[in-house]
């Protein structure tokens, strides 16, 4: 059976949902295809459940640091119940009904692209023909080449964010966002956590200073952080899940949590059979999020800045082009946030990246409690660092980072400055609300030696 549509959206995570919604709003006949749950990885197994679980422990730590308050004890059953509410008890029936009511044809199942000119998508025996196909199939947890992983109690972000009971011991493999966030969560819930990172620093795609501060905050919560530690082999020893490391030592837990990045989910679509190259790190898209005429890709499947906010942005770009409104993507100034406590936020280039582009850069780092009132009104023993990076020649910011409370909110000051090329001199002349963490940017840009 074959049906005709203006557009077929394959994968209904945040990127797919935004694309489908915009096309439906424009009056197109749209089919949406989802192999699991409408809402995707972010809504059920990543961003939403992880931040929901992290918040009570963050609030408890905030209370402990505020004059006149005591630290409340976490109520795990209540936390778990609210998490389940937020992830809709892994039930997307309301989402399916919502899209159906808006006029979309909803298909549940794995999709394969079986034809082009026009494009044909096959799902559960049905053939969907359309001039435009938007691929938004997301990514899966990377599986490092560690021998014997099948022998141990293995978790990815999915098991970690939907857990029913807190393990006594956990080994976390990887020191980026998932590793830092879930490592801190488990530790604050009383789990003995060991984090092993192959490279010499956590958050190794950020400035080295960010990784140092991330390690400090994890260690302050009791996490054993081992950098420069390469897992070679996993094995079961009784009830223990054991990782043997390259240096001959080993680490032991009840579970092993893989937090070593994500890989685009491309291989199941059959695109090679219709002449689309899928051999790179995701589907290669042009500046309009186009893979080929009438074929578009958004989100993690593109391998471009694997963040929910980027997926939603790319969806807006792709939808605009499908609707005949020429629009190109610009990834300048995309913020990156780890929702640890305190939060870790960054935007723009690192010094190494900037120098590789031939820029003459100057950096400054400031201690926020030393120069601001806001940290002291926020907590009694405040911490917080802010760093900025500027191009001497252009006299503009090209990078910034912060490890401080609510950094994910006020990193957008730097994000806007970098994206719009607001000069350092203009930033020095800005007027920031008192008392706020955002005032820190004045301290930082004034400290730049330029």
Convert the pLDDT of each residue in 157-198 to its tens digit: 999 999 999 999 999 999 999 999 999 999 999 999 999 999
Mean of pLDDT values over 54-70: 97
* Residue 257: closest CA among 185, 336, 342, 201: 185
pLDDT tens figures, 319-339:
999 999 999 999 999 999 999
To the question of whether residue 438 is assigned a binding role by annotation, the answer is no
Q: Classify each residue of 263-296 as buried b or exposed e, where b means 16 or more C-beta atoms within 10 Å of its C-beta.
A: bbbbeebbbeebebebeeebbbbeebbbbbebbb
- Residue 446 contacts by C-beta under 8 Å, 6 or more apart in sequence? 428
Q: Is the pLDDT of residue 155 over 90?
A: yes
Mean pLDDT value of segment 8-17: 98
Instruction: Tell me what pLDDT residue 267 has.
Output: 83
Q: Is 267 annotated as a binding residue?
A: no
pLDDT value for 407: 98
pLDDT at 11 over 90: yes
Is 274 annotated as a binding-site member?
no
Q: Residue 279's pLDDT band (boundaries 50, 70, 90)?
A: confident
pLDDT at 163: 98
289: left (phi over 0), alpha (psi -120 to 50) or beta: left
Rounded distance between C-alpha atoms, residue 138 and residue 40, angstroms: 8
- Helical pair 177-188 and 47-64, crossing angle rounded to 10 deg: 50
| pLDDT at position 378 over 80 | yes
DSSP label at residue 253: E
Helices (H), 357-439: 368-371, 374-378, 407-420, 424-428
Chain segment 29-52, per-residue pLDDT in tens: 999 999 999 999 999 999 999 999
Token pair recorded at residue 269: 């679509």
**Nearest residue to 264 via CA among 211, 301, 304:** 301
177 marked as part of a ligand binding site:
yes
Mean pLDDT value across residues 12-24: 98
| C-alpha torsion angle, residues 318, 319, 321, 325 (rounded to 10) | -140
**Is 51 flagged in the annotation as binding?**
yes
Q: How confident is the model at residue 1, as a pLDDT? A: 72
Task: Provide CB contacts within 8 A for 106, sequence distance 6+.
Answer: 31, 32, 34, 38, 96, 99, 100
137 labeled binding residue: yes
In whole angstroms, give the CA distance from residue 156 to residue 258.
Answer: 5
Q: What is the mean pLDDT of the chain?
A: 97
Mean pLDDT of 96-122: 97
CB burial of residue 323 (10 Å; 0-12, 13-18, 19+)? middle
Residue 314 pLDDT level (bands cut at 50, 70, 90): very high
Joined together, the tokens standing for residue 381 give: 């023993």
CB distance 314 to 283 below 8 Å: no
Mean pLDDT confidence for 419-435: 97
Backbone dihedral angles phi then psi of residue 53, each to the nearest 5 degrees: -75, -35
pLDDT attached to residue 281: 83
**For residue range 219-275, what is the model confidence (pLDDT) as tens digits?**
999 999 999 999 999 999 999 999 999 999 999 999 999 999 999 999 889 999 999
Q: Was 89 annotated as part of a binding site?
A: no
- Which pLDDT value is given to residue 23? 98
End-to-end Cα, the chain, rounded Å? 67
- Asked if residue 93 belongs to a known ligand binding site, the reply is no
Q: Give yes or no for a contact between 433 and 350, defined as CB atoms under 8 angstroms apart.
A: no
Does the annotation place 180 within a ligand binding site?
yes
Residue 294: pLDDT band by 50, 70, 90 thresholds?
very high
Q: Which structure tokens are listed for 25?
A: 């709003």
Q: Which of 420, 416, 383 is nearest to 402 (CA)?
A: 383
pLDDT band at 3 (very low <50, low <70, confident <90, very high): very high
**Would the annotation count 364 as a binding residue?**
no
Nearest to 201 by CA among 182, 181, 180: 180
- Distance between CA atoms of residues 315 and 132, nearest Å: 13
Q: Flag whether 178 is marked binding.
A: yes
pLDDT at 86: 98
pLDDT of 280: 77
Percent of the chain with pLDDT over 70: 100
In the prediction, which pLDDT does 268 show?
Answer: 87
* Calpha distance 81→88 (Å, rounded): 10
Is 179 annotated in a binding site? The answer is yes
Distance between CA atoms of residues 219 and 25, nearest Å: 49
Tell me the two tokens of residue 388: 């900025």
């Amino acid at each position: 059976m074959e049906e005709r549509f203006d557009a077929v959206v394959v994968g209904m995570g945040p990127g797919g949902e935004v694309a489908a919604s915009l096309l439906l709003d424009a009056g197109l006949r749209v089919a949406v295809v989802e192999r699991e749950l409408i809402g995707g990885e972010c809504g059920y197994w990543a961003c939403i459940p992880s931040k929901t679980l992290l918040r009570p422990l963050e609030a408890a730590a905030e209370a402990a640091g505020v004059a006149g308050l005591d630290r409340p004890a976490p109520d795990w059953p209540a936390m778990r119940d609210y998490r389940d509410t937020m992830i809709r008890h892994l039930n997307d029936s309301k989402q399916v009904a919502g899209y159906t009511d808006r006029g979309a044809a909803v298909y549940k199942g794995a999709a394969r692209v079986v034809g082009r000119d026009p494009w044909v998508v096959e799902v559960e025996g049905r053939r969907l023909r359309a001039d435009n196909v938007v691929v938004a199939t997301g990514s899966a947890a990377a599986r490092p080449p560690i021998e014997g992983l099948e022998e141990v109690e293995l978790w990815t972000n999915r098991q970690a964010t939907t857990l029913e009971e807190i393990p006594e011991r956990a080994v976390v493999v990887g020191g980026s966002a998932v590793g830092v966030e879930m490592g801190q969560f488990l530790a604050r819930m009383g789990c003995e956590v060991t984090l092993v990172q192959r490279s010499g620093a956590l958050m190794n795609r950020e400035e080295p200073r960010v990784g140092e501060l991330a390690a400090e905050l994890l260690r302050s919560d009791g996490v054993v952080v081992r950098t420069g530690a390469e897992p070679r082999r996993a094995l079961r020893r009784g009830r223990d899940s054991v990782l043997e490391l390259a240096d001959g030592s080993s680490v032991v837990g009840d579970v092993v949590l893989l937090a070593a990045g994500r890989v685009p989910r491309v291989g199941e679509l059959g695109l090679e059979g219709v002449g689309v190259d899928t051999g790179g790190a995701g589907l290669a898209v042009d500046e309009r999020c186009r893979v080929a005429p009438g074929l578009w890709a958004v989100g993690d499947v593109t391998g471009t800045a694997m963040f929910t906010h980027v997926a939603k942005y790319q969806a807006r770009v792709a939808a605009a082009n499908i609707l005949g409104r020429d629009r190109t993507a610009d990834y300048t100034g995309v913020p990156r946030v780890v929702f640890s406590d305190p939060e870790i936020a960054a935007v723009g280039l690192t010094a190494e990246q900037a120098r590789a582009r031939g820029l003459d850069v100057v950096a400054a780092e400031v201690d926020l409690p030393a120069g601001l009132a806001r940290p002291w009104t926020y907590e009694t023993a405040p911490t917080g660092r802010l760093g900025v990076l500027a191009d001497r020649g252009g006299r503009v910011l090209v990078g910034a980072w912060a490890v401080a409370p609510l950094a994910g909110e006020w990193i957008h000051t730097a994000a806007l400055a970098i994206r719009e090329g607001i000069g350092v001199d203009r930033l020095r002349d800005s007027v920031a609300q008192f008392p706020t963490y955002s005032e820190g940017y004045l301290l930082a840009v004034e400290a730049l030696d330029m």
